[in-house]
Amino acid sequence: MSATTALQSNANPQQLEAIQATDGPVLIIAGPGSGKTFTLVERIVYLIKHRGAVPESLFVVTFTEKAARELATRISNRLNELRIKFNLNEMYLGTFHSICLRLLEEYQEFTRLKRSFTLIDQFDQQYFMYQRINEFRSIADAQLIMGDDQKGRWSQSEQLMKWLNKVSDEALGIVELALAPDPEVRALAACFKKYQELMLENNYLDFSGIQYEALKLLQQHSEVLEQVQAKLSYLMVDEYQDTNTIQEKILTLLMGTKKNLCVVGDDDQGLYRFRGATIRNILEFPELFAEGECKRITLSKNYRSHPCIIEFYNWWMQGQIWEVDNKRFRFDKIIEPRDDEFPHTAAVVRLGTSDAQDSITSWHAEVLTFLHTLREKGDLSDWNQVAFLFRSVKSDRAVSLAQFLEINGVPVYSPRSNLYFDREEIRLMIGALIFLFPQFPKVRQWSEGVYLDIWKYYDQHCFKPFTEELRKPDNKRLLDWARPLAKCHIGLIQNTDYAFSGLFYQYYSFHYSVDILPKRQCEVWTKVVPHIILQLSQSYLPNLNTFTM
């Protein structure tokens, strides 16, 4: 009986090799569309079925909570298919943050955290610093880190948060930073020390601090590290190209002398450098071990794309410079298409234009004609099957195309572009919230004479159009609802028993608001409440506690 038959799996030879490589360090370079998740699932099932792995001995890390849920579902379905009973809840399966949080809770008596500690998100973290910004301002040379006082407390707290989180994510030594010759670095060390004191005093834990505290737990308490190492037999990490320094340090501690650490990723798909990830982790992973100790397996068969796309990908990647000063920054690989029949149609279409206005106008028309042609031929059943990729969705070219398509009846969803806040339904929603809280013009000014450019947008493009709508006879019901609430809110001195989101849904129950919102987009736009509220609330943070969110 072959290994594949014993596994009852459809794995190809490369995948099968990765599934059965269970002892020692393993680096799986998974090319795009190569069945990476399938391979991970089959590897976990193999460890359970053929290596007798128990739930608490498996440590599986994914990049997002969504990916963790999908992986858990697929593992569960596969085990049910094979009639294997297994408690997935006892596995260490999740993101780095969720698993590190679990370790902190399991060994809480060894940490700085007291009972009922508070986990704060990024917004709360910045507001926490904002409220205590004077304590940081008093630190020598702190302005070199967070900017001078003229920038304002909110801007300073944002800069401070960025640098303090970087210290946590990079697991930088505070003692070494404090002894640095540069005043900026010494100031950063002092700010970080002060921040840690404040977090301890308030029994708070921020998002980046989860991993930082977990690393401290493992480094400073050998008995805890030994217990966790004894418990874990196999460690697997997905999307390893997007890991950062502190995550690598945690993994090297947890694997212990067993070294059964399998990392999966693709150095060609490193996307999260802006969030602290480093491609160095995957490129230098074999160097963590003795020469020849780490087994490297490449999954190169693509099951997703047309051969023309794969051919273009290989050609483009081979044409780049990957070696500098005799150091290579890419694992060599050639992606291959699956064995199958493919439609005889163009897989890649290029619609190009120059920057001249006439050319751009023509390009817009060509794109629109192309889209309608695809729809008339039956290649498109819904506009959401089309995606446009730009270097930046805020670029003039991206915004102008989006506006052109919208004008010509093709709805565009681009929440990260400036176009988002130009939409009528968004402007009127913000205007409604400003109307409902008349103290807005007053509380947004943290000192006399202060002015932000964004306020013109709120006043002229949001609040003014909303009041014009209220004056229309057809909107009397809306006025009768909004005016009493505004009078109530202007004297608000304590928390209400309802939230912003409740006002939002009440607002959209009126015919006026429903009319401006296309029916096909109703479900989409009801999910943007937190985005709108956050954008609005940041404008008058100094008095955020005037009313509850």
Q: Decide: residue 501, CB within 10 A, 0-12 exposed, 13-18 middle, 19+ buried.
A: middle
> In which element (H, E) is residue 467 found?
helix 464-470
Average pLDDT over residues 516-538: 49
Q: Confidence band (pLDDT; 50, 70, 90) for 547?
A: very low
At 452 the pLDDT is 81
Instruction: At 309, give phi and psi (nearest 5°).
Output: -70, -45
* Helices and strands (H, E) in the chain, number of each type: 27, 12
Q: What is the pTM of this model?
A: 0.73
Residues annotated in the binding site for ATP, as ranges?
30-37
Q: Closest Cα partner for 429 from 496, 505, 491, 542?
A: 505
Place of tokens 């217990």: 227
Q: What percent of the chain has pLDDT over 70?
A: 87
Average pLDDT over residues 363-367: 89
Q: How far apart are CA 425 and CA 83, in angstroms?
A: 52
> In which element (H, E) is residue 543 found?
none
The answer, yes or no, to whether residue 154 has pLDDT greater than 60, is yes
Of 90-104, 384-398, 451-465, 477-491, minimum mean pLDDT range: 384-398
Q: Which one-letter amino acid corresponds to residue 226?
A: E
Within 10 angstroms of residue 275's Cβ, the number of other Cβ atoms is 10
Place of tokens 């940081």: 136
User: In Å, what is the CA distance from 190 to each residue of 177, 186, 340?
Assistant: 9, 6, 61
Tokens of 541: 């943070």
Q: Is 342 helix (H, G, I), strand (E, B) or coil?
A: coil
Q: Please state the domain extents for the chain.
A: 8-102+215-303, 118-202, 357-412, 423-546
**420, 414 Cβ separation under 8 angstroms:** yes
At 541 the pLDDT is 42
Tokens of 404: 């052109």
More confident residue, 175 or 385: 175
**11, 34 Cβ separation under 8 angstroms:** no
Within 10 angstroms of residue 92's Cβ, the number of other Cβ atoms is 20
Tokens of 83: 């009639």
Q: Is 336 helix (H, G, I), strand (E, B) or coil?
A: strand
Q: Which one-letter amino acid corresponds to residue 526?
A: T
Q: How far apart are CA 16 and CA 18, in angstroms?
A: 5
User: In Å, what is the CA distance from 227 to each residue of 147, 234, 299, 491?
Assistant: 45, 15, 35, 57
Residues annotated in the binding site, as ranges?
30-37
**Who contacts 270 (Cβ-Cβ below 8 Å, separation ≥6)?**
241, 242, 277, 279, 282
- Share of the chain residues as helix, strand and coil, in percent rounded to the nearest 5: 60, 5, 35
Q: What percent of the chain has pLDDT over 90?
A: 56
The answer, yes or no, to whether residue 397 has pLDDT greater than 90, is no
The answer, yes or no, to whether residue 544 has pLDDT greater than 70, is no
At 288 the pLDDT is 95
Of 220-229, 311-320, 451-460, 540-549, minimum mean pLDDT range: 540-549
More confident residue, 511 or 545: 511
At 271 the pLDDT is 74
Indicate the CATH number of 8-102+215-303 among 3.30.230.70, 3.90.79.10, 3.40.50.300, 3.30.1360.10.
3.40.50.300
Q: To the nearest whole number, what is the mean pLDDT of the chain?
A: 86
Average pLDDT over residues 39-57: 94
Q: Confidence band (pLDDT; 50, 70, 90) for 67?
A: very high
**Partner residues linked to 328 by β-bridges:** 323
Q: Is 113 helix (H, G, I), strand (E, B) or coil?
A: coil
Q: How far apart are CA 105 and CA 113, in angstroms?
A: 9
CA 375 to chain centre: 33
Tokens of 454: 């964004």
C-alpha count within 13 angstroms, C-beta hemisphere, residue 511 = 6
CA 404 to chain centre: 30
